[in-house]
Structure 1
Amino acid sequence: MFRIGSPLRPQVAQELWEEIQRLEELVAQLRILLSPPVLLDRHFESVHKNAIPIEQWHFSERWVPCLTGSVTDHPSLGEGPHRVRTSQLWAVSEELKLARTYSRWYRLGSKARNSSHDLADTGFDPWGDRGFDLRENSDSD
């Protein structure tokens, strides 16, 4: 997840660009799944040769940041209000009152009164090894 704001530090811009490239590659690979079966077979032969082996695997879950709250005028749910848990949170700015999830932008209204914690209180560090505050001054490298 990226905290958004300004000014944009060069290091942050580079790492954001790299994330965009990874996502574009994912989209390209998913689009291939819409190919005719004969092309898919050839594609999967190549993928299989280069794929990283994983043994003793199982399905699992991992925690990703999201928002919960009450929405109105949601494109899928209608007028509302509706209680929701959003898809994965990719960018947020409390200053700009905006949040970008996997599927859409949200305009941040009032924060829940009983929500005294922030992401840091959950033990999840969204800015861990690729975390950024885009509001940081570019001179503070």
Structure 2
Amino acid sequence: MLLFTPREHPNEAFVFETERLARLVADMEGIRRGEPPQALAGGEDAPILDRWILGHRPVPCLAGLSTGHPRLSGVNRAIATSDLWLMSEDRTWARTLSRWYRLGRPVEQSRPDA
């Protein structure tokens, strides 16, 4: 997940991820057009991954009470979002893999007894 502030010059991490995702989308569009992976990957220059397995790792997401979701109808419906990619530094907007969310109040954090 990247933090962002709307401005003319985004930070290096934001630029890096934007460029990386643009390359992914370009490859996906190439596959859709029928280009073979060998051509998209640069042929013999692509690295080899040997003795591989399919792994899983957790990714950041948001969970909360949703109102006005286009696919998960209801008021204050408990949901978990798709992968969280962007959050405004002021914590008022978030972009998941699927869509933008306006962020309301965060859950109150419990305080240890003094």
Aligned partner of residue 91 in structure 1, secondary structure: strand
Q: Which has the higher helix share?
A: 1
Q: Report the TM-score, using the length of structure 1 for normalisation.
A: 0.64
Structure 2 residue runs without a partner (length 5+): none
Q: Is 1:102 the counterpart of 2:97 in the alignment?
A: yes
Aligned to 1:90: 85
Contact between 1:94 and 1:108, CA under 8 Å: does it hold in 2? Answer: no
Per-residue deviation at 1:96? 4.7
Q: In structure 1, how many angstroms separate the alpha carbons of the residues matched to 2:95 and 2:20?
A: 17
Aligned to 2:15: 17
Per-residue deviation at 1:89? 1.3
Q: Is 1:45 the counterpart of 2:55 in the alignment?
A: no
Alignment length (residue pairs) = 108
1:81-109 Cα distance to aligned partner (Å, 9 max, x none)? 32211111122236251111122111111
Give 2:16's aligned amino acid. Answer: E
Structure 1 residue runs without a partner (length 5+): 117-141
Q: Which has the higher strand share?
A: 2
In the TM superposition, structure 1's runs of 4+ consecutive aligned residues that sit over 4 Å from their partners are none
Aligned to 1:3: 3
- Between 1 and 2, higher relative CO (CA 8 Å, sep ≥ 6) is seen in 1
Q: In structure 2, how many angstroms separate the alpha carbons of the residues matched to 1:94 and 1:110?
A: 14
Per-residue deviation at 1:5? 3.0
Per-residue deviation at 1:16? 1.7
Contact between 2:5 and 2:88, CA under 8 Å: does it hold in 1? Answer: yes
Aligned partner of residue 52 in structure 1, secondary structure: coil
Q: In structure 1, how many angstroms separate the alpha carbons of the residues matched to 2:25 and 2:79?
A: 26
Query: Identity over aligned residues, as a percent?
Result: 33
Aligned partner of residue 32 in structure 2, secondary structure: coil
What is the alpha-carbon root mean square deviation over aligned residues? 2.4
Aligned to 1:125: none
